[in-house]
Amino acid sequence: MSEFHVVFKARSINSKQLFKEIKQVAQDVCNEYISNRGAYIEQVYDYEDLILFLDMYFGDLLQKNIITQYDLIGDHRNNTLNDVRAGNINISVKFRQLHCINVSTIDMEFSLV
């Protein structure tokens, strides 16, 4: 079974509590989804379900009025076929929290250990 590790790089974070929650959700997804589907990802290089899950999570934050907008990037723009073959999946999310001017950015790098 494959094991993945997640590295987070964050910029302009307004709420440490929200950042901690996002990190925990990403770690849980990593441990549950990627660990169980790791062989599938390695065979066909498809991580679309991972992106879909994170999109639903941020959509839920949007509906709860915790954030006012978000942009999730996890496709060919930040993942080459060679990266995915090597076990590296990069996902970036930009979001604006309610009552905040700046846009927060979190870069997540899922790496095969």
Q: Where are the beta strands (DSSP E) in 1-113?
A: 4-11, 67-73, 88-97, 104-112
Per-residue tens of pLDDT for the chain, all 113 residues: 556 788 999 999 999 999 999 999 988 887 776 656 555 555 555 677 788 889 999 999 999 999 999 999 998 889 988 888 887 889 999 999 999 999 999 999 988 77
Q: What is the pTM of this model?
A: 0.86
End-to-end Cα spacing for the chain: 11
Torsion region of 66: left, alpha or beta (phi above 0 gives left; psi -120 to 50 gives alpha): alpha
